[in-house]
Amino acid sequence: MLSLLTTSVANASFGIFFPKFSGTIYEVLSAPLGAMEVVAGYVGAAATKSVLLGLLILTTATLFVDYRILHPFWMVAFLVLTSLSFSLFGFVVGIWADGFEKLQIVPMLVLMPLTFLGGTFYSVEMLPPFWRELALANPVLYLVSGFRWSFTGTADVAMEVSLAMIALFLAASLGAIGWIFRTGWGLKQ
């Protein structure tokens, strides 16, 4: 999941940032494509690469660890939804960034702490009550919990809540991208 998150954000943010940096974004914007087609191209490529990487890591893990996937359909669903939602988020980061330094700020100073504080390496049930409540505001918790549930059948939060939070994060990212294309912020400056 950690590789999936970082790869999704990095691929999508760099994918849109580099055309902005090199000035070729104007060719993309002047092409006879709608905003959603442009987003589908950039985000689809980033999400596909992330899903393939996640499946490759999962396949490679079979050489070292004996594991079972209790809910394979939901595992794939969480894999795809996580990749798609964080690729959309990475697209927003790539548009926001006006330099290579800003491309690294969000993954380093936002995503990495959220990953470590989101129950990736431990159950949030182990945390004191204050920190447990704070962890529930972390979107990464819901991704990790849903993915963990698909393997083990146990989770820190209900699978339905995990799906709802991923859908909310996905909708928020889509809303931000819609606003960006309506206003031209970060693209036409």
Q: Over 80: is that where the pLDDT of 188 sits?
A: no
Q: What is the pLDDT of residues 81-103, one digit of tens each?
A: 999 999 999 999 999 998 888 88
Quick one: pLDDT at residue 9?
A: 93
Q: Is 76 exposed, middle or buried (0-12, 13-18, 19+ CB in 10 A)?
A: middle
Question: Could you tell me what percent of the chain has a pLDDT over 70?
Answer: 99
| HSE-CB of 59 using CA atoms within 13 angstroms | 6
Helix, strand, coil percentages in the chain from 3-state DSSP, rounded to 5: 75, 0, 25
Question: Which CB contacts under 8 angstroms, 24+ apart, belong to 132-138?
Answer: 138/114
pLDDT, tens only, 114-136: 888 888 888 888 989 998 888 88
**Of 131 and 43, the one with more pLDDT:** 43
Q: Which tokens is 15 given? A: 């994918």
CB 151, CB 68: distance < 8 Å = yes
- What pLDDT digit, counting tens, does each position of 145-165 carry? 999 999 999 999 999 999 999
Per the prediction, the chain carries an average pLDDT of 91
**d(Cα 32, Cα 52) in Å, to the nearest integer?**
30
Q: Which token pair is 118?
A: 């989101």
SS3 31: coil
Residue type, 36: M
> What is the percent of the chain where pLDDT is above 90?
59
Look up the pTM and report it.
0.90
pLDDT score of 189 more than 70:
no
What band does 187 get if pLDDT is binned at 50, 70 and 90?
A: confident
Helices then strands, each counted (H, E), the chain: 9, 0
Q: Name all contacts of 22-27 with Cβ < 8 Å and 24+ positions apart.
A: 25/187
pLDDT at 76 over 70: yes
**Residue 55 confidence (pLDDT):** 93
